[in-house]
Structure 1
Amino acid sequence: MERGTERGIERGIERGTERVTDPRAFAEDLGIPGLADLHTHFLPPRVMAKVRAQFDAAGPLIGRPWPLHYRDTDDVLVETLRSFGVRRFTALPYAHKPDMAEFLNEWAAGFAARVPEAAVCGTFFPEPGVAAYVSTRTETVEVWKVHVQVGAFDVTDPLLDEAWGVVADAGTPVVLHAGSGPVATEHTGPGPVADLLARHPRLRLVIAHAGTPEYAEFLRLAETYERVGLDTTMTFTPFFEDMGGAYPRELLPRLRDLGLVGKVHLGSDFPNIPYPYAVQLEALERLELGEEWLRAVCWSNSASLLA
């Protein structure tokens, strides 16, 4: 057993059959300044209320009961992340219809101005004028978010081509939900992303949820393209593996190698998760990929990306 796993057991708090780790102690034990979470969500209140309603109703893109563990105002949720020792995090708005992206972008810019730990985030949608507003915001946006499942569009939509070129030239990371979890649609899967990268190979994509459930295919894209990585969001947790299947053990050595070269990033999906935040950290620790890997994934990889 690795030394980090032993320490994890010592600091765990037994709650029924589940061991819940203290996130701040988790970071302290690893000797890192805190946690850098590349996949958290903050949205305008009315938009967040609609998102929560979808989770509450187990809507068509949710696919199963999803009891939210965290539900509060932005101020309280920010303080919750701070109490966990999360030093950098994101808002990750995502547009699902035309004429919505810039409203979300303006709100997210204001959120980052109020919250020092929050990266300036933005989103875009296949619509006339998308390249113009992406170009305008390139100097300020630190992380883009694109969600093809919710947005119901193909990443290779011709309306997006010029915008993708702008983003590739700028080198700004894009957290891209393109895997078919939790519910597959005609637009999800690795095929369209492979086509996108063939056209724009310099895109700095971070594949959300490690591409669940197409783990191997998205891992291969991250190995093939210099600027493509993965985030851990909900991956490896019992809840998500019930939906997408367990991460194949034979892929773990390759996942370790990617993490050690800066291409795997901690993501949680906070606050829209059906379990305590610490469950994500425990899931990563159980992989037994070593403390060096955990330090890179939970802090240095994303801290460098957002520097």
Structure 2
Amino acid sequence: MTPRPAAKNNDESARYFLDAAAQLIDAMFVTSAKDRPRALRSIDFPAALQWLTIDDVIEVASHNRSQGASRKAFHNRWESKEAFIKDAIIHTMLYRDDPSANPALRVEELQETAHATSVSDAIGSLSESLLQSLLSHPRSFLLLHVGALLDHHPDLRAAVVEDMMSALTPWYQGYADLITRLGVTLRPGWTVERFGLTLQAMLDGFLLRSRVQREQIDEAQVGDASLFADAVIAFTLGVVDLEGAGRTVRQALDIGVRGTDGAPRAQEPAPGDPGIRGAKTLPKAIDLQAEAVDAGSNPASEIGTHLQ
């Protein structure tokens, strides 16, 4: 007899199971159980950090502390695992077990940027060192791990957001102080909070990509400038109103590309200009702004002249 061909994990039958798994995975990450297909509503989807068992917690705590870490002591403080998980997530995210290791404390380094010879280098250096600091702490991935499931736990989501905002408040104040000391303003529509929230979202995205696509992230580095550092500088350059004209970011882009009359700019590269592909660093308009402030001149007019 001719032996039956071995089953493959990429044939039509395999797709039945893989498609079903994709459907279940989608169902787990919806924002509400009501959004799941009716046939899937009876399935018990995992809660946030379901793998974390109370037995493991008590065992590790007992190993770390010979007294005061008994099972009875645990249950006297938390009536349910869900209540404990809520407190554990907040405790871990805020580094309450090791406060000095919290990267959020580096907010104090923001003000050093105002006195740096190169503001762009200072911003890039702080941005990259902050990302590397987060990468060195495994718990930095906690929010990425549980974030998509938080809508199933409203109380936990509310607690996470509240504590995140509390941690971000000093950064917002730091951004405001730095902007004032540099003598610049944000473009219309941009507030310190909007600026800070965008930077945080960028940081979260780079944190994930740096773990998943570390080779590509490394290859994207140009000289000493990492991709994240250059991205932060480019974003800052875009939302800071260096020319002092009060234009929105969209208006500034349209005018820069099309000109004030709406016609495309036809500009030949200067002799020896390597063009975009040969560029090694971002424009130093931010540094020119800082130099103008230190010299006591009008920052807006100085930078406006340079950019025209």
TM-score range, shorter chain: under 0.3
Please, what TM-score do these two structures have when normalized by structure 1? 0.22
Larger RCO, structure (CA 8 Å, separation 6 or more): 1
Structure 2 length normalisation: TM-score? 0.22
Greater helix share, structure number: 2
